[in-house]
């Protein structure tokens, strides 16, 4: 596999990194603190859905490491951590698993740890990390603001059907996959969904507890109640979280937020041209420097 290459906008001499452990809810996860000299502002990075490590490693790419190094080069402290499921993905199929339980405890611990080094702490969440960021900010008053990168607002089981249709059109998945996800999405929508619903009836093999938790959570409404600044970034070429299907809810629900579309970027905020496909994620790249500079310029 091709090794990760640091982005050209990162200067490793501008910061130091140290490993740490975050403990919350009786469980520990490893993380990395990236510190420039004398920072006043810091960000906690939140990876997307799935058993991601602190770098959000995907094939040869490490988009959260790109962000950490890019932001630290610009004097912003960064704390990123392995998700609870990173080293034991089987937990995602366990009864009782929820998005809230996976993110909230250790993200809160990360905010408090980073606050020992800076005056203000912001959350920068990617994909599901962006979706859950308002929930974390609602629970942790130390959060000074949010950056939501490709945060989905369409119900996840509905967007899964849409994405599978797109992938079937590109030949990446067989047509019968679409029918499977349509059946599973109908189960999630059903009033009969219960903790006893079999995993095989549900999208991605995630338990009913996960879907019941998501059904009760409105990311936009939660964000609208926050009294903190919010930046919403969206890739124009993203087929997972899209300008057409997800961004309108952020625009409508958060009239005071800053919203920016990076037309050339895919879901990882890697710049390119033409329709984005699954194969893009196996092509070595780095987060668009425009995404990094937009965050740096926006942070108060």
Tell me if 191 is assigned to some domain. Answer: no
Tell me whether residue 246 is one of the annotated catalytic residues. no
* Residue carrying structure tokens 């800076």: 118
Specify which residues 122 forms β-bridges with. Answer: 43, 145
Tell me whether residue 267 is one of the annotated catalytic residues. yes
Give the mean pLDDT of 181-194: 97
Contacts of 115 (CB under 8 A, 6+ apart): 42, 121, 142
Tell me if 293 is assigned to some domain. Answer: yes
CATH number at residue 138: 3.40.50.1820
Q: Helix axis angle, 99-114 relative to 208-215, nearest 10°?
A: 70
Tell me if 189 is assigned to some domain. Answer: no
Looking at residue 1, its pLDDT comes to 63
Give 235's pLDDT tier (boundaries 50, 70, 90).
very high
Tell me if 31 is assigned to some domain. Answer: yes
Is residue 231 scored above 80 in pLDDT?
yes
Tell me if 203 is assigned to some domain. Answer: no
Give 89's pLDDT tier (boundaries 50, 70, 90).
confident
Within 10 A of 37 (CB to CB), how many other CB atoms are there? 8
Give the mean pLDDT of 282-288: 96
Give the mean pLDDT of 75-104: 93
Give 2's pLDDT tier (boundaries 50, 70, 90).
confident
Tell me if 17 is assigned to some domain. Answer: yes
User: Alpha carbon 1 to chain centroid distance?
Assistant: 24
Tell me if 140 is assigned to some domain. Answer: yes
Annotated catalytic residue: which of 58, 127, 159, 209? 127
Tell me if 123 is assigned to some domain. Answer: yes
pLDDT tens for residues 27-76? Answer: 999 999 999 999 999 999 999 999 999 999 999 999 999 999 999 999 99
Annotated catalytic residue: which of 209, 245, 267, 288? 267
- Could you give the number of structural domains in the chain? 1
* Residue carrying structure tokens 């679409």: 178
What percent of the chain lies above the pLDDT cut of 70? Answer: 100
Burial of 278 (0-12, 13-18, 19+ CB in 10 A): middle
Structural domain span for residue 126: 12-154+218-298
Tell me whether residue 227 is one of the annotated catalytic residues. no
């Amino acid at each position: 596999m091709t090794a990760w290459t640091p982005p050209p906008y990162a200067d490793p001499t501008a910061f130091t990194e140290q490993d740490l452990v975050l403990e919350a809810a009786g469980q520990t996860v490893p993380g990395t603190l990236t510190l420039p000299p004398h920072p006043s502002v810091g960000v906690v990075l939140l990876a997307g859905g799935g058993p991601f490590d602190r770098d959000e490693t995907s094939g040869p790419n490490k988009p959260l490491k790109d962000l950490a190094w890019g932001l630290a080069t610009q004097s912003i402290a960064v704390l990123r951590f392995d998700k609870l499921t990173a080293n034991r993905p089987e937990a995602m199929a366990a009864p009782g698993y929820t998005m809230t339980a996976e993110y909230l405890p250790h993200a809160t611990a990360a905010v408090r740890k980073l606050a020992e080094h800076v005056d203000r702490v912001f959350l920068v969440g990617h994909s599901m990390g962006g979706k859950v960021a308002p929930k974390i900010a609602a629970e942790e008053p130390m959060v000074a603001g949010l950056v939501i990168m490709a945060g989905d607002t369409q119900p996840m089981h509905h967007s899964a059907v849409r994405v599978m249709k797109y992938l079937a059109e590109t030949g990446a998945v067989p047509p019968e996959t679409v029918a499977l996800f349509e059946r599973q999405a109908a189960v999630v929508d059903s009033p009969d969904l219960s903790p006893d619903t079999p995993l095989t009836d549900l999208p991605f093999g995630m338990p009913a507890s996960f879907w019941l938790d998501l059904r009760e959570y409105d990311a936009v409404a939660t964000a609208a109640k926050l009294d903190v600044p919010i930046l919403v970034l969206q890739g124009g070429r993203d087929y997972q979280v899209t300008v057409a299907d997800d961004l309108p809810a952020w625009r409508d629900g958060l009239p005071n937020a800053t919203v920016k579309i990076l037309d050339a970027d895919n879901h990882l905020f890697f710049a390119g041209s033409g329709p984005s496909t699954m194969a893009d994620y196996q092509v070595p790249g780095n987060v668009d420097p425009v995404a990094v500079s937009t965050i740096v310029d926006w942070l108060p």
